[in-house]
């Protein structure tokens, strides 16, 4: 019974949240925020038929993220069937054993920084199982492991600078053509939020490490299972090291928007050369030229910096097959390893679908816009209190920052043109902030169910950070508004 509570407690919270959101469609009218203000669109009450329709659409929208999870799970399902992987993580853990706190801080900074600058959050998950395996062998408790990995990713979302999930669509909705929509001082403020978040978050993490029971439960996401007869055959570490290093390089190249953020066009030019200039000309008149590299990459392969979840999904699967060949897996062994890995993604996938179920409800019946519109109309002009509260409400119900941009982009840039920097910062920063405590937080949900941590335990752990961080954010928002 206790095990089920740990596994399904968060999903219960998600279900309750969804039911409340569904019921509110019967009480609050829909609204639209236009350049002139709030427009009442009447009631749109959701009923029995809509339950299936909402689930279908939630599943469709979340498919790309679930595919990435499946690919990562398949990769580690294969990797953990090798002795080489155990040698790598155990060797690293042994060298870092006497520097646990430094290790935790360094990993936290790296994960948060990557999340802050990359265009897709889910690609950071590629390296999380590897990190968890190292921390597990360092005998760290599972709350410390959760905070160091998934918690640090949440800090990166809160302190988004050039990237993170949904920010590109938010920029597009606001009419910006790049991920840097405003002045350099504003970007530095966002970077400052990232630094403050990291300092405060790691302060509480290290404090927890100092007082935690040494016998506290640890956990590994993917346990190593190597048959004795195959230990010598899979002893080499080189294939795994090469694959992980290449994946890291590809993630940096593929998910950093070089052109929009830094004006670097070399990757676009390289993509044009590869897909358009390298070809074998037709031998006969009227024949078609053979674009070998273009055809090999695929019909819509993007340039570096513009990669999507679909691209990294394909790359991870290819590397998984390469590892299977390098370690001479039999076909049955290969598929068994993939199956064992993917089984671990079922509950995380349910968290993703649940989060997007909530989004589909407020998309279909946008009563949240009515709440926010009326709240903003309580004061004349820009007001820190109403704008902060509105941003919190929007981000609690909108599990995707893109949709927040969609519903407010026609109103906020017009109404608060002189305060667009603090408004934009509030929307993006508070989106990351609420992900620390709402049950429909995708990153938090994946972390909790994967590491078998109760939602209530996490709230007891994180509330002090949330109070301190919220005070810091309010001070920053006020300073941005008056300076």
Residue 239 domain-assigned?
no
Are residues 269 and 156 both part of a single domain?
no
Are residues 294 and 353 both part of a single domain?
no
In the predicted structure, residue 2 carries a pLDDT above the cut 50: no
- Return all residues near 80 (Cβ < 8 A) that are at least 6 apart: 222, 223, 224, 225, 337, 341
Residue 243 domain-assigned?
no
Are residues 221 and 150 both part of a single domain?
yes
Are residues 111 and 200 both part of a single domain?
yes
Determine the pLDDT at residue 479.
Answer: 93
Domain boundary among 304, 332, 366: 304
Residue 422 domain-assigned?
yes
| Cα 60 from Cα 77, distance rounded (Å) | 25
In the predicted structure, residue 73 carries a pLDDT above the cut 70: yes
Residue 316 domain-assigned?
no
Determine the pLDDT at residue 3.
Answer: 46
Determine the pLDDT at residue 285.
Answer: 57
Residue 393 domain-assigned?
yes
Are residues 214 and 361 both part of a single domain?
yes
CA angle 151, 155, 160 (to 5 degrees): 145
Domain that holds residue 277: 261-304
Are 70 and 343 within 8 A, CB to CB? no
In the predicted structure, residue 180 carries a pLDDT above the cut 50: no
pLDDT in tens, 257-316: 887 777 788 877 776 776 665 555 555 555 555 455 666 666 677 888 888 888 999 999
Are residues 43 and 188 both part of a single domain?
yes
- For 450-457, what is the mean pLDDT? 92
Domain boundary among 286, 304, 322: 304
Residue 458 domain-assigned?
yes
Structural domains counted in the chain: 2
Are residues 299 and 185 both part of a single domain?
no
Determine the pLDDT at residue 295.
Answer: 62
Here the tokens at position 201 are: 């978050």
pLDDT in tens, 362-387: 999 999 999 999 999 998 889 999 99
Helices (H) and strands (E) in the chain, counts: 23, 2
Are residues 36 and 177 both part of a single domain?
yes
What does each C-alpha distance from 363 to 46, 145, 400 come to in angstroms? 11, 35, 11
Residue 31 domain-assigned?
yes
Are residues 142 and 277 both part of a single domain?
no
Return mean pLDDT, the chain: 88
Number of Cβ within a 10 Å radius of residue 348: 21
- For 184-195, what is the mean pLDDT? 86
Are residues 422 and 284 both part of a single domain?
no
In the predicted structure, residue 179 carries a pLDDT above the cut 50: no
Q: Which residue has the tokens 């920053």?
A: 476
Are residues 296 and 380 both part of a single domain?
no
Residue 309 domain-assigned?
no
- For 157-173, what is the mean pLDDT? 78
Least confident of 125-129, 159-163, 443-447: 159-163
pLDDT in tens, 74-106: 999 999 999 999 999 999 999 999 999 999 999
pLDDT in tens, 134-151: 999 999 999 999 999 999
Determine the pLDDT at residue 184.
Answer: 64
Higher-confidence residue: 159 or 291? 159
Are residues 198 and 295 both part of a single domain?
no
Determine the pLDDT at residue 308.
Answer: 86
Give residue 5's pLDDT band: very low, low, confident or very high (50, 70, 90).
very low
- For 24-38, what is the mean pLDDT? 89
Determine the pLDDT at residue 8.
Answer: 64
What ranges in 126-265 are assigned the alpha helix state H? 128-137, 142-146, 152-158, 167-173, 184-211, 238-254, 258-262
Least confident of 40-44, 300-304, 420-424: 300-304
Give residue 188's pLDDT band: very low, low, confident or very high (50, 70, 90).
confident
């Amino acid at each position: 019974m206790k095990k089920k509570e740990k596994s399904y407690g968060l999903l219960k919270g998600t279900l309750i949240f969804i039911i409340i959101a569904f019921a509110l469609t019967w009480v609050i009218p829909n609204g639209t925020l236009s350049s002139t203000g709030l427009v009442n669109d009447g009631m749109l009450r959701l009923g029995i038929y809509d339950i299936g329709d909402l689930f279908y659409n939630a599943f469709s929208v979340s498919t790309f993220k679930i595919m990435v999870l499946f690919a990562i799970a398949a990769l580690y399902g294969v990797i953990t069937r090798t002795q080489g992987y155990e040698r790598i993580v155990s060797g690293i853990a042994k060298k870092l054993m006497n520097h646990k706190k430094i290790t935790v801080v360094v990993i936290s900074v790296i994960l948060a920084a990557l999340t802050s600058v990359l265009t897709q959050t889910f690609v950071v998950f590629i390296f999380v199982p590897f990190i968890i395996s190292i921390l597990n062998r360092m005998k760290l408790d599972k709350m410390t492991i959760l905070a160091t990995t998934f918690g640090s990713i949440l800090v990166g979302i809160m302190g988004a600078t050039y990237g993170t999930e949904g920010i590109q669509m938010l920029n597009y909705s606001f009419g910006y053509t790049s991920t840097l929509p405003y002045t350099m001082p504003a970007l530095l403020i966002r970077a400052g939020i990232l630094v403050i978040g990291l300092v405060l978050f790691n302060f509480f993490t290290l404090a927890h490490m100092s007082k935690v029971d040494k016998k506290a439960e640890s956990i590994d996401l993917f346990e190593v299972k190597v048959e004795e007869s195959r230990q010598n055959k899979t002893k080499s570490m080189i294939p795994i090291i090469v694959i992980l290093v290449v994946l890291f390089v590809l993630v940096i190249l593929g998910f950093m928007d070089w052109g929009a953020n830094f004006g670097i066009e070399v990757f676009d030019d390289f993509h044009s050369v590869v897909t358009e200039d390298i070809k074998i000309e037709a031998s006969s008149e009227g024949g078609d030229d053979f674009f070998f590299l273009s055809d090999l990459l695929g019909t819509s392969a993007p340039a570096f910096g513009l990669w999507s979840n679909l691209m990294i999904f394909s790359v991870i699967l290819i590397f998984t097959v390469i590892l299977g060949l390098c370690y001479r897996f039999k076909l049955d062994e290969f598929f068994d390893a993939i199956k064992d890995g993917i089984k671990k993604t079922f509950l995380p996938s349910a968290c993703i679908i649940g989060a997007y179920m909530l989004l589909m409800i407020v998309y279909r019946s946008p009563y949240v816009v009515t709440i926010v519109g009326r709240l903003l109309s309580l004061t004349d002009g820009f007001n820190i209190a109403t704008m902060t509260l509105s941003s919190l409400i929007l981000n609690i119900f909108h599990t995707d920052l893109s949709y927040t941009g969609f519903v407010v982009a026609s109103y906020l840039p017009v109404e608060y043109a002189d305060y667009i920097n603090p408004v934009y910062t509030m929307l993006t920063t508070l989106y990351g902030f609420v992900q620390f405590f709402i049950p429909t937080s995708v990153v938090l949900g994946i972390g909790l169910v994967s590491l078998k941590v109760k939602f209530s335990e996490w709230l007891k752990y994180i509330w002090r950070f949330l109070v301190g961080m919220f005070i810091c954010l309010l001070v920053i928002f006020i300073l941005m508004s008056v300076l």
